[in-house]
Amino acid sequence: EECQDTCMRYQDTLVYAHIRRPANVTDAMVDRWREELANRRQYLSYLQSLLEDVLLSVQKVEHQRERFLSNIDDLQSLVGGRSSVPKEHVYPKFEGTAEAFMALWWEAKVVKARAATLKTLLSHNEGFHATISPDSAIVTAARAQMSQVADEEENAAALALMSEVGAESGVAHIPDVAEAKED
């Protein structure tokens, strides 16, 4: 979430710098911010991909664990205190248990590799130094502008929806503020 916030901060600031062209912002600064945004987006993409992989591993481990435990329970009930058991009953359970164990062992290796990948990825994050901070004046101005734009878009969408609903339902048109001032 922190990385997503950082990306939004950079994106808002770049849009603001492009639209408003503040005097204290140079082309070199904008270029640097673009590079930093690309870096953060790539970092975020790697994190999200790794998270998806980890969630998939969790599902695999849960499935194989249940399979393993089910086979062990079946074996205990089949063998119990008996001195001999027909192999056609027991062998498939041993085979299923071994397959589940090997799948768990393999997935443990995959998880270990993903942990190493995460460690490497996090080490790259330590080397990143943002040139704009969340509380800088330009970020504050950019966020204010983006908030205003979002409010304007929301109001325009609401007005458009109201006029569509009014036209479709046969309800009389209620003039907006601009129309009321013209009269």
Kindly report, residue by residue over 98-155, the tens digit of the pLDDT: 999 999 999 999 999 999 999 999 998 888 888 888 888 888 888 888 777 766 766 6
- Of 46-50, 119-123, 176-180, the range with the lowest mean pLDDT is 176-180
**Among 117, 114, 118, 121, CA closest to 61:** 114
| pTM of this structure | 0.67
Q: What local confidence, expressed as pLDDT, does residue 178 receive?
A: 53
Measured between alpha carbons, how far is 90 from 72 in angstroms, rounded to an integer? 11
